[in-house]
Structure 1
């Protein structure tokens, strides 16, 4: 899960909520507000500069990539099933809808896995035209169920090959990382091998009930095998690792000096720093192992889409300069369009040493949860 509890009250005619999963009450400073050319220009093809959606970031220049003004207009009615929380992406989705006078969007928010099951159970009668997922695993699950259709090359080619298939495309990325307290350690003090952390002398933390953490352990099962993963889990438990309810709280505990290091997605460090720029927390990465997995949020067009062209053009808007810049500034994720840079003191995607695994396998969580419980972890 990546969606904290929504701060939006009620619904309107275009938005209805369906059991959005809460993952804490994280405060993303300044996520509200539509800036730039988001007031609607009728056809989306005005002469305004590239708009910024959500909060601004000091020194952030005009993003690269393709602006929405150069993309096909959106016209008609579309239903989006979003596994990404309204609190994180609601501003972006509203911005896209408001840009076009003749475009109407209905959004259903819920967990990605729940929405996959719902689309499958609804069959050809599903109202879902586009499925927007928090992770590649759910996209792969829907594709494996033969409930998606191929995206056009002009959409797929906007993203590098490892972050797409013929039927889904990544829209933003997250790297597993090792946040650490800079008052206690320097980056050179931290192991660059995730398997070495059971012997780490500092106090560790994690959020084992969190979906991203379970996907991280799943990656370890895939890469290292079940026996080595069991030994790692046993060692981590014996080290006295502290459990937290989610990864933002885990990073805040590092900044507060409760623990020295942890295992989280990279953007939680940036969210802590956004609220407290001088907090003693920084980001380290391991190399080529489960601790360095790079997963993506992404979108696909369902096989039941009433207007596949409209649906694919909406997905294309998630790869626009405005949207990619929004992901960098407001959710602190990695943009997947090369011309847009991430926020924070982070390596580029090319500089990360990412393991070569099939991201759709990370949805195979049941054996991981069983293994974690076997060694006494409360999940």
Structure 2
């Protein structure tokens, strides 16, 4: 174990800037988010506080990495997306509670772990991508996705993806398991084909006429419509309208990006300063604008691009409640055979 730990620490030192990993006046961040997406808000933090940041990006295995490093882990702050990953970090014991007056004041309770192990920073909505050419509806509820009106006209990525499990967990919280399962069967029957790809390919399928509506996250629309390197993605993004589906309360399911204080943070005081800053109005705006997301607080204005999608009325269901139904939602996806696609 000591040898493994030494290897991991050596690898980390190579991944972080020279001399930065264990230096004072620095916060080490482990993240699943691409560094370019978080750098603007980290630069703003350094400018305000004089505290530097070092980023280690991992596309998988972040929790396992920190567990293997143990008490010697250089990780101070974890930044990631999706309530499932945040609750997983807590469940695996790599976070510690933070009950901070500033953070609690800046972030509403529904976007915080009840025990203080994670905090939402930005939010994204799980919405409907609708063909500009073929869909005249200006509003569609989540329940409507099971309406036979849409038979053979819906595209989506795997039901087992975290983004969809979050939506299904939210449905269970609102409707209960029996109603949600019947709804999921109707959704399956309405699929144009077997679920595949990510959210952006669903917009591509709409542009190609393979389906009329799809389930996707809001921020992908901004990414597509501003993609100068791949003009075909701009075509996909401009082929769709964004519709904000709702539950019976008139509100739309949202998920979050968030942060957590690492269990053995070696620079705990500075790490808390970073989390305090990330929770501020200024940081929420910077972070959300870069990623075409929404500030986690409803009173803060999103970017002009995000405003162009339409008005978001975010569900106030606590994210912890949604996360508690994740396993149930995953089992339901398998039981219904959602990822097998339509029966006929």
TM interval, shorter chain, is 0.7 to 0.9
Please give the TM-score of this superposition, normalised by the length of structure 2: 0.75
Q: Please tell me whether the aligned partners of residues 328 and 334 of structure 1 are also in contact (alpha carbons under 8 angstroms).
A: yes
Q: Any residues of structure 2 matched to 1:235-246 within 5 Å, and which?
A: 235-242=186-193, 243-246=195-198
For the pair 1:155 / 2:115, whether they are aligned, the reply is no
- In 1, the alpha carbon distance for the partners of 2:180 and 2:46 equals 48
Higher helix share: 2
SS of corresponding position for 1:174: strand
For the pair 1:341 / 2:302, whether they are aligned, the reply is yes
- In 2, the alpha carbon distance for the partners of 1:101 and 1:168 equals 22
2:172 is aligned to 221
SS of corresponding position for 1:378: helix
For structure 2, the 5+ residue unaligned runs are: 1-13, 228-233
Q: Please tell me whether the aligned partners of residues 142 and 148 of structure 1 are also in contact (alpha carbons under 8 angstroms).
A: no
Deviations 1:153-173 (A, max 9, x none): 123322233222434321100
Query: Paired residue for 1:171, among 113, 121, 131?
Result: 121
* Aligned-residue offset at 1:365: 3.9
Query: Paired residue for 2:331, among 348, 362, 370?
Result: 370
Query: Paired residue for 1:270, among 202, 219, 222?
Result: 222
Q: Any residues of structure 2 matched to 1:119-268 within 5 Å, and which?
A: 119-144=66-91, 147-165=95-113, 166-188=116-138, 190-194=139-143, 196-201=145-150, 203-208=153-158, 209-242=160-193, 243-268=195-220
For the pair 1:107 / 2:110, whether they are aligned, the reply is no
Q: Please tell me whether the aligned partners of residues 140 and 360 of structure 1 are also in contact (alpha carbons under 8 angstroms).
A: no
SS of corresponding position for 1:311: helix
The 1:13/1:305 distance shift into structure 2, 3 A limit, reads closer
Deviations 1:54-112 (A, max 9, x none): xxxxxxxxxxxxxxxxxxxx96132211122335334544x357648964433222357
Q: Please tell me whether the aligned partners of residues 155 and 312 of structure 1 are also in contact (alpha carbons under 8 angstroms).
A: no
SS of corresponding position for 1:157: helix
- In 2, the alpha carbon distance for the partners of 1:122 and 1:348 equals 44
For structure 1, the 5+ residue unaligned runs are: 1-10, 16-73
Q: Any residues of structure 2 matched to 1:42-61 within 5 Å, and which?
A: none
2:8 is aligned to none
SS of corresponding position for 2:150: coil
> After alignment, is 275-284 or 97-106 more displaced?
97-106
The 1:253/1:120 distance shift into structure 2, 3 A limit, reads same
The 1:215/1:103 distance shift into structure 2, 3 A limit, reads same
The 1:162/1:372 distance shift into structure 2, 3 A limit, reads closer
Q: Please tell me whether the aligned partners of residues 289 and 302 of structure 2 are also in contact (alpha carbons under 8 angstroms).
A: no
Q: Please tell me whether the aligned partners of residues 149 and 302 of structure 1 are also in contact (alpha carbons under 8 angstroms).
A: no
- In 2, the alpha carbon distance for the partners of 1:360 and 1:119 equals 26
The 1:355/1:160 distance shift into structure 2, 3 A limit, reads closer
- In 2, the alpha carbon distance for the partners of 1:358 and 1:329 equals 22
- In 2, the alpha carbon distance for the partners of 1:310 and 1:104 equals 10
Deviations 1:229-265 (A, max 9, x none): 3322322222233323101111232244332111111
Q: Please tell me whether the aligned partners of residues 76 and 310 of structure 1 are also in contact (alpha carbons under 8 angstroms).
A: yes
Query: Paired residue for 2:242, among 279, 283, 294?
Result: 283
Please give the TM-score of this superposition, normalised by the length of structure 1: 0.68
The number of aligned residues is 306
SS of corresponding position for 2:106: coil
- In 2, the alpha carbon distance for the partners of 1:240 and 1:336 equals 32
The 1:194/1:264 distance shift into structure 2, 3 A limit, reads farther
Deviations 1:102-151 (A, max 9, x none): 64433222357x43344345443332111112123333344455631214
